[in-house]
Amino acid sequence: MESCCITLLAPHGLHTRPAALMVALARQFQADIQVRCDGLQANAKSLFALQKLPLVSGASIEVCAQGDDARQAIGALHQWLEQFNDGQH
């Protein structure tokens, strides 16, 4: 299993539009990808599931992936989240 942790820095957190972009990225991989936040877990390939997490500014999240392309998925999602924190999404 591969994973990464990151703190959301955007003032509005990971709201619907960027969450949809993250879901689209996650769906490019075959790996099972989960997002954990505040004791809750959701499928990263489901916008509906992600919206149930408290993905607010300052939240620490863990992204975990398991499967053949898990390492590539975590690399891509970690890079995407860093760019999101830098205001590039």
- Under 8 Å between Cβ of 57 and 8: yes
- Under 8 Å between Cβ of 55 and 37: yes
The catalytic residue among 12, 15, 78, 89 is 15
Instruction: Verify whether residue 15 is a known catalytic residue.
Output: yes
Half-sphere exposure for 28 (CA within 13 Å, toward CB)? 11
Could you give the CA distance from residue 54 to residue 72 in angstroms, rounded to a whole number? 26
Q: Catalytic site residues?
A: 15
